[in-house]
Amino acid sequence: MTINFMLLPCMGELQRTPLHTACAALATVDVKPDLVHLPAPRRTDPVQRGRAPAGSARQSPASPTEAGLRMRMDETGPTPSGMPLPQAWRQTLAEARIERQSIGASRAEVARVHRHGQADAFLKSEVIDAFSELGDEIARLRWLQAQGQPAPTVIATIEEAGRRWLLMSALPGRDLASSPELAPQALVEVLADALRGLHALPVAACPFDQRIALRLQAAAARVQGGLVDADDFDDERLGQSPQQVFADLQATRPEHEDLVVSHGDACLPNLMAVNGRFSGFIDCGRLGVADRYQDLALAARSLVDNFEGTRWVAPLFQRYGLVADERRLAFYRLLDEFF
């Protein structure tokens, strides 16, 4: 069993902090409960495939039967909500209410953790195998915060019984796909400005590679592993096999890449806002050096799907400061079919 703890400053030094101490430290953050992110039914967004808690999986409303139930300290295995929990954390989270999130179709398990007298947190868990992404997300969240970019704080991580767990802070506000306070124009401005700020980070400082060559390798591995759902393809590709679509992907590969630090899954549910202002990125497991169109393509498609048309795509590019390259937009939309 491997446990990693958040590092906190203490008397001028850094010390390893047990989970209960890390949670207590987080409780000092002044976050109003009504402003903490709680995934909610949102506009239909086919971009949301296979990500959680609010990534790229087609959305379905949360079931009332999946409301969190109070844990008992003597339980083993999953919590009453169905969320697995590592044995090492059971006593610390014994009085927490674990509310499993039904939004998303990811391989990862995601739950909101309601802790008495403390700010809410999110718990994410995934089986460790060749296609696991949670370890990638943990590393990227830590790196993002070190760059001054708003993202969830990694409170603690653990590996136990072939699974990896992440406990992270909840960001304030609502995601852009469900925010009731943002008119479309304001939403587009928040989206464009957030991406432009991320893309301005120095590429040389980013240790994560997500360029086309590696993404094509990952896509091919997912095809070979049977992880690509042909029934989930966009309408124009329904009826085609993953192998056929992958051949189209290779044939349309751009000749060059305009490299930036990319989020990797920049659809509306993965950006948060509070009081009309950007409050952070979530679902950051695919962040890395990539063409800026990796983000722009998914952001544009998310706008189309959420607002049922292309009305807000041109304002996105105008605010971002770029003339849209339709071929690169099409390629990165196609690439996303495999993830």
pTM of the model as a whole: 0.77
Of 265, 283, 305, 336, which residue is the catalytic one?
265
For residues 81 and 207, membership in a common domain is answered with: no
Phi, psi (rounded to 5 degrees) for 125: -140, 145
**Mean residue pLDDT across the chain:** 82
More confident residue, 133 or 66: 133
Which tokens hold the place of 86?
Answer: 């590592």
Please write down the HEC assignment for all residues of 306-336: HHCCCCCHHHHHHHHCCCCCHHHHHHHHHHH
Quick check: 282 pLDDT over 80? yes
**On the CB side of 191, how many CA atoms lie within 13 Å of its CA?**
33
* Residue range(s) defining the domain that contains residue 113: 2-169
The whole-number pLDDT of residue 235 equals 87
CA dihedral 175, 177, 182, 186 (to 10 degrees): 100
* Mean pLDDT to the nearest integer, 242-250: 97
Over residues 301-316, the mean pLDDT reads 97
Same domain, 178 and 316: yes
> Which range among 66-70, 222-226, 251-255, 304-308 shows the weakest confidence by mean pLDDT?
66-70
Looking at the fold, whether 121 and 262 belong to one and the same domain comes out as no
Order of all β-strands in the sheet with 174-175: 174-175, 271-274, 277-281
For residue 165, what is the domain's CATH number?
3.30.200.20
Give the residue from 146, 169, 192 where a domain finishes. 169
pLDDT in tens, 16-56: 345 655 555 444 433 333 333 333 333 444 434 434 443 33
Do 116 and 220 fall within a single domain? no
Number of domains within the chain: 2
Both 246 and 105 in one domain: the answer is no
Model pLDDT, residue 51: 44
Instruction: Encode pLDDT of 116-148 as tens digits.
Output: 889 999 999 999 998 999 999 999 999 999 999
265: annotated active-site residue: yes
Work out the pLDDT band at 171, boundaries 50, 70, 90.
very high
From 169, 191, 218, the end of a domain falls on: 169
Neighbours of 321 (CB within 10 A): 8
Say yes or no: 10 and 153 in one domain: yes
Q: Do 241 and 165 share a domain, yes or no?
A: no
Q: Tell me, yes or no, whether 298 and 314 share the same domain.
A: yes
Closest CA to 320 of 202, 196, 190: 196
Q: What is the pLDDT of residue 167?
A: 97
Q: Average the pLDDT over 90-99 and give the result.
A: 90
User: Does one domain contain both 274 and 224?
Assistant: yes
* 207 and 305 share one domain: yes
What percent of the chain clears pLDDT 70, i.e. is strictly above it? 74
Of 33-37, 76-80, 211-215, 332-336, the one with minimum mean pLDDT is 33-37
pLDDT of 334 strictly over 60: yes
Terminal-to-terminal C-alpha distance of the chain: 30
CATH (domain of 290) = 3.90.1200.10
Q: Which is higher by pLDDT, 202 or 180?
A: 202
**Same domain (yes/no): 191, 211:** yes
pLDDT of residue 297: 99
Cis preceding linkage at 53, omega within 30: yes
- Which of 126, 153, 169 terminates a domain? The answer is 169
Query: Do 254 and 275 fall into the same domain?
Result: yes
Read off the pLDDT band of 83 (50, 70, 90): confident
Check pLDDT > 50 for residue 73.
Answer: no
Amino acid at 177: A
